[in-house]
Structure 1
């Protein structure tokens, strides 16, 4: 059999339309199926006078086909296109329903029960196809969302069909006294409704034909062999066990709630109404859980929600065992427990579908259905054992319904602990990202390759960049980490949890090979090409190792930029990491993915240009339609020059500050205060900003001490004639601040690499949010583009120079 991995692609509009046709068809199919079954069950009870016996026989007939025909159902789904199976199933249902109508018209109960069994068999045969077709229509990335929708609509259809059929039959029976006529009318309507389901199935997009082996007699009894195939892959085995646990838990809750209804009513006339209320509460809670899970998994399948839901199931089960059985609190907790159980199932179900090999998906899913039914049978056996033990021992308290639910809660807790030990990284990632998203509003822009190895090359601003990128990237990310850092316990745990790619600078060839192997395996691998956290907010020198890695792996490179993180406690704003109070509780973070680059042509210059282009994209997303001056103010706040919430001085009468609109917005948005003085006194303000007027007064000053001078004068590239002042040449063009120098940042800790905030002869480094397109600067602060003045160039590190002063340093 062909177990080759499928080629992942983004579904077309036609495939999405086909998916929704499949959802509506499945919903109609499930409604028809359950409504017909729950017309025949009370009819049998009316005829036999012993509803409980009919209920048990009906329950056996509904479950038995999933056990008897599991290998054949899987073979059918793998042998033929799943679309064909679904069309055939819709036709079969219509024919079976027509036959049921004939049996009711003839008042032939045995023939009707044959039809009842045929309906259950039709459901068993369509199950692997209707689940397996979802990935074929929408792909892996959308599978979690699509699977959640499928389960939600199916649950609502089942609930509606059961309740509607029961109520309609009871009302008609009360009016006519004839069970046959009470069932016939609604059954005719259901049969008519099966025709639109056939038409909807024709709207499903075409799917590939399967490649299963030809049908043989031995296939019908290959149950053990099929379960062996299910369990052969450890990941699929454990995932399927999690799914089976859900169905065991759901079956327990259903039987347990029926027991509660019998205990409350004594099995009298109110039993049906009370048990229906319990069923409705659980079903609505479960449908809501499936819908909510589809939103949680909209971007990708996140298994971390499984242990979280398991914890919630455990707690809600304990609470449910403690609240009085009568009253609204019980119904609410029953719905809450079912809600979290649905969230528990949805990622597992989607992941199981995603992991199944394409050529054997039907077989694996059919085996999983068989396993689910066996789990349900075990639960039924346990519940019967409790029932017999209670009768035999005289109904002791320690076998009561409260204790039974407490035992179920313990089982939930044990399963949850087991899952946490299996996938701790998934749990930590979901919790960590939830916390990060509480503190940061993260948005992403740009396109990202849907499949295959991708080398992600982002700027590095904060210690939390890995979380920002994980939250923004549509695919899971593996980070490259220097092996020497794993001596730190926290870093070692992080690297183990997030499956980092460890490299050693002492063994460069092995390091390159490890990264390339991860890319060849189809992972998204992230390398911070600066090799260090920026302490200026600007892009630092790029290391060249990524070029070799990308070419060895022959994978695309995606330059990336994170905007808005400078100023958080994780950044070096204020010349320190961590040891500062956050200025805001919620921050906007924008992550931009520039167009992917071919590994054959991507070098340091191309990556730097791509990262600058990504910085403009990220800034545009964060500026979100604000004025260009507002975007320019955000750029000022992204570098370690003018400080947020700090004072800076200007000279009375200097026209330069008033010519820069971004300054006023920076002051308003980030709490900086402009102090106007008649002469530059560094003892009053340490940072000063201005043009020729300020420069002249500094150079004429007799004060021996000095501050920091952000020089926007025409002679800014020339040395300042006052050695006590730290001279930071800057450049503004047409009222837009384009480049700034800044003081060299101090070392964050012993061993930190030197970083430069300025370069002799330059006008500063290009602010993040600008990129150079030929000789034109572009970015949200200059939406129409801005040509560099004649004679100005930008070097390979992003510093702006005037050719006449340091031509030999330019490119």
Structure 2
């Protein structure tokens, strides 16, 4: 939307790059360490039964601290200055990896598992900082791009860590323990050194008293996370993302061998396709969203995941016709490219799904609560991961399902969960509908919208009224939900009525047409502003007949007299020459565009005081629109 911006420019700025590098090194080291433990088991020649015990015990030990200590971690992240906390956690990592190095050098699995539990503890402390720091160092319009970079970096770091950690003992041979010990310490030291370059970021709630009892505090944090409906269900969506990802990635090693007929290297290749897809989808979110927190991408992501997983099932519903295939041989086999595209597609749409959800949580949660809310997210994510792992094992062992059948069941469950989430929070689906329609019909450019729309609290938006699509365009441009006041005949347009109703638009009529409807509209406007909502009105009272801005009516002054709130002037540019306006009045019908996807602009100005007159507001909107009717 905003010209000249590239999200990768954040990687050249100190406010973002050191933090980005630290979280990448952390994800890399975690996975190097965990895969190196598995490599050591093979290197030591431990029998398969014991190896299975250790490989199942390791994830449980890593995730256990999330249940035990996330509530305490969230409070600490809220109370301490964030850069200092990151330095503390990366210093902990050096100590933990030093213990792990002892375990590698002595080939002592007990020491390695204790260190793994401590690694989970360190990750638990870092987790709330990882996402709560972004709204403090990024502008609102950079949140989606920043989250996309973080998700991309995390996905690729996990992939590289798994590959490197898995190959250490194969490549180093007799020097494997020394190599593993050196690698994990070196990565921890690098992460700590880089963390010292992160600029200072103030604490969210420095006066917060810490409750060291994890159980009641965990319950309190979960209640805090559920306070806002949209945030609560965004958290549910993030946890569902981890459920789907856990089920899928847990099956990949066996799926690559049994259903794809591959050697162990084919599992890494399949994981790489999924990770590359996730990274790509995460990066595309900013481009598709137009630098806003666009939750309209969430339904697209959810149904895209199901579509590609369904195709993955039909692409290979049974065992592989060949076995022992290397990557190159697999790619030459019939149907292999379809499977590759499906794995990339699943990953890409998971990026579309999860990045806007994280951005929504960050943008709609007060800064003084965000670290604790993220801690609540981590608790719920951990629960979903455990349930996913248990279910994945149970349906195969006790019901005899094949892995493709597990994928088919996950496809159906994902679609049903998506429908359920979107039915209880219609805003998600409404934003998707408006996002699709606006971007299909127009090329939209924004000016000042991110800077001038308040992040929280009530506000009244006033804008010129050019076409039947105005409310839909503004709702696609403004990152917060807006309750539009619109003429009841526009509100009742078929198809659009469903969108407007779920967006909680407020229908209004003229005093002569329906005085009771007008009275109810003013009552509802006041209640919405009292509730801290953003309300959008078109003070001209009707669509323009000649492309010019008509005089603003006094209704806007009545609203502000009753409920003084900031007023944000906005202007639509270029809409008079687009479809759905009254320009073609000679034919008494809405004008069709001269070309597909007309260029239009939305401009916002600085908020004006509540005592501004209708004439002053009209002048501000005229100034924003200029000559671009």
TM-score range, shorter chain: 0.7 to 0.9
* Displacement after TM superposition at 1:26 (Å): 1.0
Residue number among 373, 387, 408 corresponding to 1:378 in the alignment = 387
* Displacement after TM superposition at 1:521 (Å): 4.2
* Secondary structure of the corresponding residue to residue 291 of structure 2: coil
The yes-or-no answer on 1:465 pairing with 2:470 is: yes
The yes-or-no answer on 1:313 pairing with 2:305 is: yes
Pick closer, same or farther for the CA change 1:204–1:309 going to 2, 3 Å.
same
Contact 2:553-2:614 within 8 A present in 1 as well: no
Pick closer, same or farther for the CA change 1:473–1:249 going to 2, 3 Å.
closer
Contact 1:144-1:294 within 8 A present in 2 as well: yes
The equivalent residue for 1:99 is 99
In structure 2, what is the Cα distance between the partners aligned to 1:220 and 1:420? 31
* Displacement after TM superposition at 1:333 (Å): 0.8
Map Cα deviations across residues 689-734 of structure 1 (whole Å, 9 max, x no partner): xxxxxxxxxxxxxxxxxxxxxxxxxxxxxxxxxxxxxxxxxxxxxx
The equivalent residue for 1:614 is 624
The yes-or-no answer on 1:495 pairing with 2:500 is: yes
Residue number among 179, 183, 186 corresponding to 1:185 in the alignment = 179
Residue number among 479, 482, 490 corresponding to 1:477 in the alignment = 482
In structure 2, what is the Cα distance between the partners aligned to 1:425 and 1:225? 26
* Displacement after TM superposition at 1:500 (Å): 1.5
The equivalent residue for 1:291 is 283
Contact 1:459-1:539 within 8 A present in 2 as well: yes
The equivalent residue for 1:583 is 594
The equivalent residue for 1:422 is 424
Residue number among 338, 342, 352 corresponding to 1:329 in the alignment = 338
The yes-or-no answer on 1:279 pairing with 2:275 is: no
Map Cα deviations across residues 320-358 of structure 1 (whole Å, 9 max, x no partner): 001136623212212211221232222223333444454
* Displacement after TM superposition at 1:476 (Å): 4.0
1:783-794 alignment runs, 5 A limit:
none
* Displacement after TM superposition at 1:262 (Å): 3.7
The equivalent residue for 2:327 is none
* Displacement after TM superposition at 1:42 (Å): 0.8
The equivalent residue for 1:389 is 398
* Secondary structure of the corresponding residue to residue 566 of structure 1: helix
* Secondary structure of the corresponding residue to residue 344 of structure 2: helix
Map Cα deviations across residues 731-754 of structure 1 (whole Å, 9 max, x no partner): xxxxxxxxxxxxxxxxxxxxxxxx
In structure 1, what is the Cα distance between the partners aligned to 2:146 and 2:293? 11
The yes-or-no answer on 1:27 pairing with 2:36 is: no
TM-score, with length taken from structure 1: 0.67
In structure 1, what is the Cα distance between the partners aligned to 2:226 and 2:549? 50
Contact 1:145-1:297 within 8 A present in 2 as well: no
Map Cα deviations across residues 167-206 of structure 1 (whole Å, 9 max, x no partner): 2331112xxxx2xx21322432442333332233232332
Pick closer, same or farther for the CA change 1:513–1:142 going to 2, 3 Å.
farther
Map Cα deviations across residues 295-322 of structure 1 (whole Å, 9 max, x no partner): 4446332222222211111111110001
Contact 2:458-2:566 within 8 A present in 1 as well: yes
Residue number among 233, 236, 239 corresponding to 2:234 in the alignment = 239
* Secondary structure of the corresponding residue to residue 69 of structure 1: helix
Pick closer, same or farther for the CA change 1:15–1:229 going to 2, 3 Å.
farther
In structure 1, what is the Cα distance between the partners aligned to 2:589 and 2:217? 61
* Secondary structure of the corresponding residue to residue 249 of structure 2: helix
1:275-674 alignment runs, 5 A limit:
275-297=267-289, 299-324=291-316, 327-389=336-398, 399-446=401-448, 449-451=452-454, 452-473=457-478, 475-482=480-487, 490=495, 492-503=497-508, 505=511, 506=515, 511-575=521-585, 576=587, 578=589, 581-604=592-615, 606-616=616-626, 619=628
* Secondary structure of the corresponding residue to residue 398 of structure 2: helix
In structure 1, what is the Cα distance between the partners aligned to 2:476 and 2:440? 12
Q: Which runs of 5+ in 1 are unaligned?
A: 1-12, 620-637, 639-811
In structure 2, what is the Cα distance between the partners aligned to 1:380 and 1:594? 51
The RMSD of aligned alpha carbons is 3.1
Contact 2:103-2:112 within 8 A present in 1 as well: yes
Contact 1:289-1:341 within 8 A present in 2 as well: yes
Contact 1:77-1:210 within 8 A present in 2 as well: no
In structure 1, what is the Cα distance between the partners aligned to 2:432 and 2:370? 28
Contact 1:454-1:523 within 8 A present in 2 as well: yes
The equivalent residue for 2:210 is 214
Pick closer, same or farther for the CA change 1:530–1:352 going to 2, 3 Å.
closer
Pick closer, same or farther for the CA change 1:299–1:581 going to 2, 3 Å.
closer
Q: Name the structure, 1 or 2, with higher relative contact order (CA <8 Å, separation 6+).
A: 2
Pick closer, same or farther for the CA change 1:592–1:200 going to 2, 3 Å.
same
Higher strand share: 1
Pick closer, same or farther for the CA change 1:86–1:295 going to 2, 3 Å.
farther
Contact 1:307-1:344 within 8 A present in 2 as well: yes
1:32-43 alignment runs, 5 A limit:
32-43=29-40
Higher mean alpha-carbon deviation, 435-444 vs 402-411, is at 435-444
The yes-or-no answer on 1:130 pairing with 2:130 is: yes
Higher mean alpha-carbon deviation, 582-591 vs 222-231, is at 222-231
In structure 2, what is the Cα distance between the partners aligned to 1:509 and 1:559? 24
Q: Which runs of 5+ in 2 are unaligned?
A: 1-9, 321-329, 331-335
* Secondary structure of the corresponding residue to residue 525 of structure 1: strand
In structure 2, what is the Cα distance between the partners aligned to 1:385 and 1:379? 10
TM-score, with length taken from structure 2: 0.84
Contact 1:86-1:201 within 8 A present in 2 as well: yes
Report which of the two structures shows the higher radius of gyration computed on alpha carbons: 1
Q: Across the two proteins, how many residue pairs are aligned to each other? A: 589
Higher mean alpha-carbon deviation, 206-215 vs 271-280, is at 206-215
Contact 1:440-1:586 within 8 A present in 2 as well: yes
In structure 2, what is the Cα distance between the partners aligned to 1:172 and 1:15? 35
* Secondary structure of the corresponding residue to residue 443 of structure 2: strand
The equivalent residue for 1:195 is 189
* Displacement after TM superposition at 1:74 (Å): 2.8
Contact 2:43-2:169 within 8 A present in 1 as well: no
Higher mean alpha-carbon deviation, 25-34 vs 287-296, is at 287-296
Higher helix share: 2
Contact 1:308-1:427 within 8 A present in 2 as well: no
Higher mean alpha-carbon deviation, 307-316 vs 219-228, is at 219-228
* Displacement after TM superposition at 1:234 (Å): 4.7
The equivalent residue for 1:248 is 243
